[in-house]
């Protein structure tokens, strides 16, 4: 059932958004913070859902770099 999943408890999405935006040089006007934080909270919910897959952190990621791919 597609519902919005809750973000992890204690996740301060507004604080995170302000701090991370400074770190990557993204101007974040005050009036945008609430909506950006709401989107991040939603994404956090999805990220938490993925963590439920067993041993997901040890899995080989999908994109694999192959040296010299252009020459082949």
Partner 1 sequence: MSLAATAEAVCSGRTSASETVAQALAAIEAAAGLNAATHVHAERARARAAALDARISEGGDPGPLAGVPFAVKNLFDVEGQITRAGSRATGADPPAARDAYAIRALEEAGAVLVASTNMDELAYGFSGENAHDGDTRNPRDPRLSAGGSSSGSAALVAAGAVPLALGTDTNGSVRVPAALSGIAGLKPTYGRLSRSGVFSFVHSLDHVGVFAATADDLAAALAALDGPDPDDPAQASGVSPRPVPQELRAARLGGWFAAPLHPDVAEAVDAAAGALGAPTTVELTLAEAARAAAFVLTTAEGGQRHLAGLARHAERFGPLVRDRLRAGALVPAAWTGRAQKLRRRVTDELSDLHREADVLFAPATPCPAFPLGTAEHGVAGEVLPIRLGIGMFTQPLTLTGVPIGVAVRRGARSGLPVGVQVIGRPFEEATVLAAMARLEKAGFVMHPAQTEAAHA
Contact footprint for partner 1 (CB under 8 A): 1-5, 16-17, 20-21, 24-29, 32, 35-37, 39-40, 43-44, 46-47, 49-53, 56-57, 59-63, 69-70, 72
The greatest distance separating any two alpha carbons of the chain, rounded to the nearest whole angstrom, comes to 50
- CB nearer partner 1, residue 24 or residue 67: 24
Nearest distance from C-beta of residue 14 to partner 1, angstroms = 11
DSSP states of 16-55: HHHHHHHHHT----HHHHHHHHHHHHHHHHHHHHHTTSTT
Nearest distance from C-beta of residue 10 to partner 1, angstroms = 15
Q: What's the chain's Rg over C-alpha atoms?
A: 17
């Amino acid at each position: 059932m597609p519902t919005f999943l809750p973000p992890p408890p204690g996740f301060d999405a507004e604080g995170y958004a302000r701090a991370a935006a400074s770190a990557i040089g993204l101007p974040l006007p005050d009036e945008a913070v609430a909506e950006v934080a709401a989107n991040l909270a939603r994404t956090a919910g999805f990220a938490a859902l993925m963590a439920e897959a067993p041993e997901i952190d040890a899995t080989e990621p999908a994109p694999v770099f192959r040296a010299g791919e252009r020459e082949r």
